[in-house]
């Protein structure tokens, strides 16, 4: 049918070209979603150009008269002559120029939902000049039209690549965009909120090297309020008149980490539904972030290494991922808890998936974002203290996952202590100085006492980066005495962390000599609201938590007095 239409167009326009020597190149696309215009007849200077031209159909590029005003008339289907036209548009095309004319809008706007941005939705022609029939390179060139009358201002983001369309309202057309020929996930988001995905579409441009296209949003976001007409979608018209629909997809991003220290699970196969996702997945390794189906229940199955099929799975976990969200799933625990030491806090150590449903592949700024998982089955509740900085993890038992923690890209010494905050278990050297803008998962791994856990891997602190790289933090000092032997050179009072805070924050200070120390908190009126310290302390470094759940939001001050040293800093309680 497309070939026949193109042939008829050639015959019609050959006749027109006998009259008009100057020509331009023109492609016409029907994107008017009004059911009354589902099929139209198009007239060019009174001559029938397109008979029964259907919604979401396009012509190939054709020669059209240039240099003089021409009339493009739109009539209902099966019209008898140009006198039946409903709408007429007069345009003048430039000789040897290339155009795309897109019929859009509705015949009677009062019968349809109004545009949320106040744009006029009356039936019209959107015309793009300087159009392209081919790309300028071996990449793919396209422009985008926002052609959905009831849709608000949107962005179109090529997921994990770049924003292609920024703040486009109905009727807006972009400049040409050039991308490598590949497959992309296009996320449609509100113009001011790229974290909220309205819909996602798969745009497979891998076969269009050197080609061009017109990408257009089409149909109604709410068909029920628009005469039950066609629903929203994204389409592409190629220069030969072929129109393709980008299929809508629901995808999430998922990273999987193997942290199950059971010696029988040193290597496992991971299935996603019935498909083998990871073959011989080794303890303390991780995948990069990958796409996974969203919006439907999926089964993540774990089978012995070298399994034959999903039927070999030992255990399976059913999860439903949210479209556009990012997850980290950490395999943890032991297959037979009775064969291993029980958890000292009574937590279940059975093999499971710990899932962080608010994960990130990068930091929100130039700092480093990470969360911490307590993943050592025989380890008690612990704190993790960034020495001389703040407490990062407070009272975490096996299986606990912290919120994301943001720190400047620098080197730190992490002291792993029992929950009393003073009994040192181990210290680790963590150099995050090269990870600015990046994210990580930090996880405690292995057994504190391998000899009573089938001689499994010993305890350590590990990290997984977004690209799947896994590393181990090297151990630092191993005793409280070693920490205490480092006497500060001066009095210091650090800025509280986090700040702003809700409801608690940590205050760190150092004193170089023994003496009476007071640390007090005042409100903005100067009234004392809390005394955190009022005692003789030995020279050293100290951390104190300020818990303010019973205080109102606002500015507070904390004052350190020690010897002849006095310093005041400001903090912000934000509830």
Q: Is 439 a member of any domain?
A: yes
1 pLDDT above the threshold of 60: no
Q: With cut-offs at 50, 70 and 90, classify the pLDDT of residue 121.
A: very high
Alpha-carbon distance of 197 to 157, in angstroms, equals 10
Q: Is 549 a member of any domain?
A: yes
Domain endpoint, select from 472, 495, 519: 472
Do 287 and 158 share a structural domain?
Answer: no
> What average pLDDT does this structure show over 273-302?
92
Q: With cut-offs at 50, 70 and 90, classify the pLDDT of residue 20.
A: low
Tokens of 499: 């700040």
Q: What is the CATH number of the domain that holds 509?
A: 2.60.40.1930
Q: Is 532 a member of any domain?
A: yes
Do 499 and 403 share a structural domain?
Answer: no
Q: Is 95 a member of any domain?
A: yes
pLDDT of residue 572: 86
Domain endpoint, select from 201, 218, 249: 249
Backbone angles phi, psi at 563, to 5 degrees: 60, -130
- Work out the number of other CB atoms within 10 angstroms of the CB of residue 181: 16
> What average pLDDT does this structure show over 316-338?
93
**Could you tell me the CA-to-CA distances from 2 to 49, 58, 214 in Å, in that order?**
14, 9, 18
pLDDT of residue 114: 95
483 pLDDT above the threshold of 80: no
Alpha-carbon distance of 513 to 539, in angstroms, equals 4
C-beta of residue 98 within 8 angstroms of C-beta of residue 132 = yes
Do 176 and 48 share a structural domain?
Answer: yes
pLDDT of residue 388: 77
Do 24 and 158 share a structural domain?
Answer: yes
> Which pLDDT tens digit goes with each residue over 492-505?
888 887 878 888 88
331 pLDDT above the threshold of 90: yes
480 pLDDT above the threshold of 70: no
Do 136 and 228 share a structural domain?
Answer: yes
Q: Is 481 a member of any domain?
A: no
Q: Which of 134-148, 158-172, 537-551 has the highest mean pLDDT?
A: 134-148
Q: With cut-offs at 50, 70 and 90, classify the pLDDT of residue 457.
A: very high
Do 409 and 274 share a structural domain?
Answer: yes
Burial class (CB in 10 A: 0-12, 13-18, 19+), 79: buried
> Which pLDDT tens digit goes with each residue over 175-206?
999 999 999 989 898 988 887 788 889 999 99
pLDDT of residue 443: 97
Do 203 and 291 share a structural domain?
Answer: no
Q: Is 109 a member of any domain?
A: yes
> What average pLDDT does this structure show over 413-433?
82
> Which pLDDT tens digit goes with each residue over 74-110?
888 888 898 898 889 999 999 999 999 999 999 999 9
Do 499 and 463 share a structural domain?
Answer: no
**Could you tell me the CA-to-CA distances from 145 to 97, 126, 127, 217 in Å, in that order?**
20, 9, 10, 6
For the chain, give the mean pLDDT.
89
Do 541 and 442 share a structural domain?
Answer: no
pLDDT of residue 487: 57
C-beta of residue 270 within 8 angstroms of C-beta of residue 256 = yes
What is the domain count for the chain?
3
pLDDT of residue 222: 93
pLDDT of residue 478: 44
Above pLDDT 90, what percent of the chain?
62
477 pLDDT above the threshold of 70: no
Do 150 and 84 share a structural domain?
Answer: yes
Alpha-carbon distance of 575 to 571, in angstroms, equals 13
> What average pLDDT does this structure show over 439-466?
94
Domain span at residue 29 reads: 2-249
Do 510 and 561 share a structural domain?
Answer: yes
pLDDT of residue 271: 94
Q: Is 347 a member of any domain?
A: yes
Domain endpoint, select from 214, 249, 284: 249
Burial class (CB in 10 A: 0-12, 13-18, 19+), 318: exposed
Q: With cut-offs at 50, 70 and 90, classify the pLDDT of residue 13.
A: very low
Above pLDDT 70, what percent of the chain?
94
> What average pLDDT does this structure show over 364-375?
92
Of the candidates 293, 432, 470, 438, the one whose C-alpha atom is nearest the C-alpha of residue 360 is 438
Do 208 and 174 share a structural domain?
Answer: yes
Q: With cut-offs at 50, 70 and 90, classify the pLDDT of residue 422.
A: low
> What average pLDDT does this structure show over 11-35?
73
> What average pLDDT does this structure show over 377-381?
94
| Lowest-pLDDT choice from 47-56, 211-220, 538-547 | 538-547
Q: Is 16 a member of any domain?
A: yes
pLDDT of residue 421: 63
């Amino acid at each position: 049918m497309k070939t026949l239409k193109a042939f008829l167009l050639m015959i019609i326009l050959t006749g027109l070209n006998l009259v008009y020597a100057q020509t331009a190149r023109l492609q016409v696309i029907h994107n008017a979603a009004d059911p009354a215009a589902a099929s139209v007849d198009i007239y060019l200077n009174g001559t029938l150009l397109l008979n029964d031209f259907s919604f979401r159909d396009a012509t190939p590029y054709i020669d059209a008269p240039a240099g003089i005003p021409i009339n493009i008339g739109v009539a209902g289907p099966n019209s008898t002559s140009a006198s039946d036209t409903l709408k007429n548009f007069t345009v003048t095309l430039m000789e040897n120029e290339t155009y795309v004319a897109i019929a859009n809008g509705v015949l009677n706007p009062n019968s349809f939902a109004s545009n949320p941005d106040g744009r006029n939705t009356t039936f019209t022609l959107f015309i793009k000049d300087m159009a392209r029939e081919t790309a300028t390179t071996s990449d793919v060139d396209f422009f985008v039209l926002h052609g959905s009358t009831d849709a608000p201002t949107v962005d179109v983001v090529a997921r994990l690549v770049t924003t292609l369309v920024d703040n486009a309202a109905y009727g807006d057309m972009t400049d040409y965009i050039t991308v490598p020929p590949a497959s992309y996930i296009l996320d449609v988001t509100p113009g001011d909120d790229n974290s909220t995905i309205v819909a996602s579409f798969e745009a497979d441009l891998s076969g269009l090297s050197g080609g061009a296209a017109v990408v257009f949003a089409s149909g109604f976001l709410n068909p029920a309020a628009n005469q039950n007409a066609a629903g929203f979608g994204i389409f592409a018209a190629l220069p030969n008149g072929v129109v393709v629909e980008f299929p809508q997809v629901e995808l999430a991003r998922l990273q999987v980490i193997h942290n199950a220290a059971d010696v029988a699970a040193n290597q496992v196969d991971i299935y996603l539904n019935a498909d083998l996702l990871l073959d011989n997945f080794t303890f303390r390794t991780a995948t990069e972030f990958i796409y996974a189906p969203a919006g439907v229940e999926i089964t993540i199955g774990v089978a012995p290494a070298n399994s034959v099929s999903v039927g070999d799975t030992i255990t399976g976990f059913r999860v439903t991922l949210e479209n556009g969200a990012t997850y980290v799933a950490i395999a943890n625990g032991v297959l037979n808890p009775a064969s291993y030491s029980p958890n000292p806090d009574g937590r279940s150590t059975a093999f499971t998936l710990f899932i962080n449903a608010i994960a990130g592949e990068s930091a929100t700024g130039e700092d480093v974002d990470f969360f911490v998982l307590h993943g050592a089955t025989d380890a008690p509740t612990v704190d993790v203290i960034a020495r001389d900085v703040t407490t990062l993890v407070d009272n975490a038992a096996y299986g606990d996952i912290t919120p994301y923690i943001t720190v400047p890209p620098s080197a730190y010494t992490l002291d792993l202590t029992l929950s009393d905050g003073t009994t040192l278990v181990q210290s680790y050297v963590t150099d995050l100085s090269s990870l600015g803008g990046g994210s990580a998962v930090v996880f405690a791994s292995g057994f504190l006492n391998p000899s009573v856990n089938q001689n499994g891997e010993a305890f350590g602190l590990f990290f997984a980066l977004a690209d799947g790289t896994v590393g181990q933090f090297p151990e630092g000092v191993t005793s409280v005495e070693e920490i205490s032997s480092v006497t500060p050179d001066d009095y210091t009072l650090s800025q509280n962390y986090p700040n702003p805070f809700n409801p608690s924050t940590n205050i760190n200070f150092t004193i170089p000599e023994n003496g009476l120390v007071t640390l007090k908190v005042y409100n903005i009126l100067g009234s004392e609201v809390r005394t955190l310290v009022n005692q003789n302390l030995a020279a050293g470094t100290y951390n104190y938590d300020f818990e303010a759940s019973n205080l109102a939001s606002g500015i507070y001050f904390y004052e350190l007095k020690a010897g002849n040293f006095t310093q005041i800093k400001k903090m912000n309680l934000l509830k």
